[in-house]
A = this chain, B = another copy of it.
């Protein structure tokens, strides 16, 4: 295509690289590249080839190059990508240059673990506040953070800008919590409750459902089991036996 950087693009200041609306699939992979790049930087590498980075991130090298090309990235032919520069680029595109505040609602089993998860802080996210509806949990302190009642959400949100809301409540409470988050201006929600949230346009919801992941794996187990069962019993027409075990193609299914 040809939408690179319109030389006279409609007046944007030089700093911000003009968000050329990346493909969603690319956006989903950028964090993985970022993680791999940090690992390379820690190892002392200054440049990396698309092949090398692709391996570290678990993707195809052509895909990686296309992804990076989408954000107008600057690699050097014959050499590769500058690790530090690429880290800056990706962090800038992902909006990680500022530390984003997260409000976590629901301090039950899972929420408790999330509150204590250090992977958030290390990636530039700060848990700004914890909420719950259960009076028993109010006042509890987790990882140096006080658990507040959900009704205090508006007051806390007024104090500091909340970038992202995380819902870790039981399913029946999730929709109500989502509504309250939206009401105080949150436009990005990460939902761990096993239910569908309905939110107004302009609000992004990502869902993580642990049981669903297991069920998808269960399907593949089931399929593999019946595939290996058939050739044994001397099956006929269908399923031309692919030789041995290395049969099918579904190797590493990272993803979704």
Residues in B neighbouring A21, C-beta threshold 8 A: 223
Q: Quick check: which of A75-83, A94-102, A148-156 contacts chain B, the rest being far away?
A: A94-102
Interface residues on A, range: 35 or more
| Smallest CB separation, A35 vs chain B (Å) | 6
A74 an interface residue at 8 Å Cβ cutoff?
no
Within 164-219 of A, Cβ neighbours of B (below 8 Å) are at 164, 185, 187-190, 194-219
Contact at A98–B9, with CB atoms within 8 Å?
Answer: no
Interface string of A86-124 (1 = CB under 8 A from B): 000000011110101010000001101110111110110
Contact among B28, B32, B220, B242 with A256 in the assembled complex (CB-CB below 8 Å): B28
Tell whether, in the assembled complex, residue A10 and residue B188 are in contact, meaning their CB atoms are under 8 Å apart: no
A161 to chain B, nearest CB (A): 9
Nearest CB of chain B from residue A245's CB, rounded to whole Å: 6
Contact with B along A229-254 (1 / 0, CB 8 A): 01001111111001001111111111
Q: Is the CB of A218 within 8 A of B95?
A: yes
Given A13-B236, A95-B222, the answer on whether A116 and B123 have CB atoms closer than 8 Å is: no
How far, in angstroms, from A187 to B253 measured CA to CA in the complex?
A: 12
Cα distance A220–B199 when bound, in Å?
Answer: 15
A201 contacts across to B, CB distance below 8 A: 246-249, 251
Q: Please state if B188 and A125 are interface contacts (CB–CB under 8 Å).
A: no
A11 close to chain B: CB less than 8 A: yes
Also in contact, A11 and B212, with CB within 8 A (given A187-B221, A218-B164, A220-B188):
no
| Also in contact, A116 and B120, with CB within 8 A (given A211-B125, A218-B96, A221-B188) | no
> A10-B236, A31-B212, A31-B215 known; A221 and B95 CB under 8 Å?
yes
**Given A16-B237, A200-B245, A250-B204, CB of A215 within 8 Å of CB of B114:** no
Known: A9-B238, A19-B223. 15 other contacts (CB 8 A): A10-B236, A10-B238, A10-B239, A12-B226, A19-B222, A34-B215, A95-B225, A164-B221, A185-B242, A187-B224, A201-B246, A202-B247, A202-B250, A208-B210, A208-B213
10 A-B contacts (beta carbon < 8 Å): A19-B226, A28-B216, A31-B211, A93-B219, A95-B221, A96-B215, A201-B247, A201-B248, A204-B221, A206-B213
Report, nearest first, the 10 A-B pairs whose CB atoms are least far apart. A95-B222, A113-B113, A256-B256, A58-B196, A31-B215, A188-B217, A31-B212, A10-B235, A10-B236, A123-B211
